[in-house]
Amino acid sequence: MKILVCISKTPDTTAKIAFTDNNTKFAEAGVQFILNPYDEWYSLVRAIEIKEADASSVIHLINVGGADADPIIRKALALGGDEAFRVDSSSQDGFYIASQIAAIAKQNNYDLIFTGKETIDYNGSSIGGMVAELLELPYISLATKFTLNGTSATVNREIEGGEEIDEVTLPAVVSCQKGVAEQRIPNMRGIMGARTKPLKVTDPVDAETLTSINSFELPPPKAGVKLVPADQPEELVRLLHEEAKVF
């Protein structure tokens, strides 16, 4: 089994967010970056579990980003990836990123491509579907359980109001979320071994950029709490209607 896991560098959820260049660029100074949790905790760990069940399996990692993503890639290698590709590009356009991943995937004939449900910074949830389309492969999103059955897989996925169970013949692209696997922490042996695992830096292929960022905007500050006496329900109704606009 040859598996490709797509990984991203994202800001830590506790980071203080600010913007520069007239709110058109994210200010990275002083920000702690992490391996995107959906990529790390679910898609990568599920790939590692597959390899543990079948030692002949190989896990490749791919990231589209600059050299500042290398520590994140090394962490993924420490967890259990065998080798990694980094496409040297700083683009944030989903189609452009998907095109770079697809180009690498076409060269290596993977049986399975895992992505996280989404990144925690842009929350686009679009890369997996575009990669599948570019490779002309089936795509299943929002997987909460992935069971491998030889050359096919059973995938439980979350849908509105319930769960759907799909059967798919490999090769395929699957995006993963909570439930697929449990978080792991790199051990010392993995950390030391990651230093010598291959990390191949490649130039990006020509691809369209379909979107651009005009500006970022922080959410409005939270308003103060209003306390309504228990004997004034009509005032609570008025506030909900006129200020909170919940009905």
Residue pLDDT, tens place only, 18-63: 999 999 999 998 899 999 999 999 999 999 999 999 999 999 999 9
Q: What is the CATH number of domain 2-219?
A: 3.40.50.620
Q: According to the model, what pLDDT value does residue 245 have?
A: 80
Q: pLDDT by residue (tens digit) across 113-157?
A: 999 999 999 999 999 999 999 999 999 999 999 999 999 999 999
Q: pTM to 2 decimals? A: 0.88
Write down the number of H helices and E strands in the chain: 7, 13
At 194, the pLDDT band (50, 70, 90 cuts) reads very high
pLDDT band at 97 (very low <50, low <70, confident <90, very high): very high
Residue 223 has pLDDT above 80, yes or no: no
Residue 44 contacts residue 80 (beta carbons within 8 Å): yes
Task: Quickly tell me which residue has 């030391």 as its tokens.
Answer: 192
The packing angle between helices 94-108 and 127-135, to 10°, is: 50
What are the start-end ranges of the H helices in 11-69?
A: 37, 45-53
CA-based nearest residue to 115, from 128, 125, 103: 128
Domain boundaries, the chain: 2-219
